[in-house]
Amino acid sequence: MVDTKILITGATGYLGGRIYQQLNNEFQIILSSRKKKLPIEYNLNTKVTFFNLQDSDIKEILKDVDVIIHLASMNARECQENILDAYEVNVNNSIRILQNINPSQKTLFIYFSTAHVYNSPLEGYIDESNIPNNTHPYSTTRKTVEDVLKYFSSINICKSLVFRLSNAVGRPLSKETDCWELFCNNLCMNAVKKKNLILSSNGLAQRNFVSIKKILNVILRSIKIKDDLDSFEIFNLGGDSNLSLYGMAELIQEQYNKIYGESIPIILGKEGIEGKPLTFSSMKLSSRFGSFLDPLNEEIEELLKFSHKIF
């Protein structure tokens, strides 16, 4: 597979860093990021090229790319604060890539959308037959990219694989990664810095959590079977765990005690929504790709140790 050339956009982000680390020794890698400089953890070698999506020679860069893993986007807070920028970064940059793909290369375009295209908060049983109904710009821009991909796939520019991702859990590649506002990451940071687990809510809200290791294995399998994929496919990508926020805090509390031999308290806020049941189904993914291990506790342990190292 060393001849396979892969472009990772959003390469310095939370998932991008881990994906780069997983694929770097097996494939030729091209990295793209809004940042002008890569963190030191990215050991650039002769197989790695770094560029910005605004480069004028993007067509030249993409001419022999076999797989695009598209992660570059603004987060929910950024999208809400500046909707125009949200559509420029999330949608227009995606179109810019698609318009410059070489159709004869038969590129596989892997797009990481979000589970929140369905709704927010998520509740009840959710599979791919649910109609997306979230009007937040973070979700609408992601859904728009899904629709754009469906069009480009229909005219044979590329194959498209869309993953509607739930809440990824795991350590980042770099201490510089902007990921510490995420729920699990923030809890682990507070566990190390403040010796407690602080929730801003009553902890009753339900979420689905998926280990980054499972996500990495899904990507690897996607690359290996890319020639057998249909022109456009959408899958929920979640984990085995549908938990309340308090339930996730308990898992982190348990892992912290296991690693450091110390029990730390969980501190709940007073506000919060009623905890309605959630089942975020990835059965379609399992039927298409086979089963995957989801080592959530292993990722929590590594995230705690990483937090202890840098804070």
Q: Which fold has domain 176-208+242-277+297-310?
A: UDP-galactose 4-epimerase; domain 1 (3.90.25)
Q: What is the mean pLDDT of residues 113-117?
A: 98
Give the tens place of pLDDT for each residue, 6-24: 999 998 899 999 999 999 9
Q: What is the mean pLDDT of residues 94-101?
A: 94
Query: Percentage of the chain surpassing pLDDT 90?
Result: 82
Does position 204 have pLDDT exceeding 70, yes or no? yes
Per-residue confidence (pLDDT) for residue 46, from 0 to 100? 43
Domain ranges for the chain: 5-168+209-237, 176-208+242-277+297-310
Give the tens place of pLDDT for each residue, 174-184: 999 999 999 99
- Residues 181 and 130 sit within 8 Å (Cβ to Cβ): no
- Distance, C-alpha 238 to centroid of its chain: 11
Give the tens place of pLDDT for each residue, 20-59: 999 998 999 988 877 767 788 887 654 566 666 766 678 8
Per-residue confidence (pLDDT) for residue 9, from 0 to 100? 93
Residue 102 CA to residue 273 CA, distance in Å, equals: 48
- Strand segments, DSSP code E, in the chain are 5-9, 28-32, 48-51, 67-70, 108-114, 124-126, 159-165, 167-169, 197-198, 206-211, 232-237, 241-244, 266-267, 278-280
Q: How many residues does the chain have?
A: 311
Per-residue confidence (pLDDT) for residue 1, from 0 to 100? 61
Q: Enter the CATH code of domain 5-168+209-237.
A: 3.40.50.720
Query: Percentage of the chain surpassing pLDDT 70?
Result: 95
Give the tens place of pLDDT for each residue, 234-260: 999 999 989 999 999 999 999 999 999
Please provide the average confidence, as pLDDT, over all residues in the chain.
93
Q: What share of the chain is helix, strand, coil (3-state, %, to 5)?
A: 40, 20, 40
Does position 2 have pLDDT exceeding 70, yes or no? no
- Distance, C-alpha 74 to centroid of its chain: 12
Structure tokens at 286: 């399992």
Give the tens place of pLDDT for each residue, 266-297: 999 988 777 789 999 999 999 999 999 999 99
Give the tens place of pLDDT for each residue, 133-150: 999 999 999 999 999 999
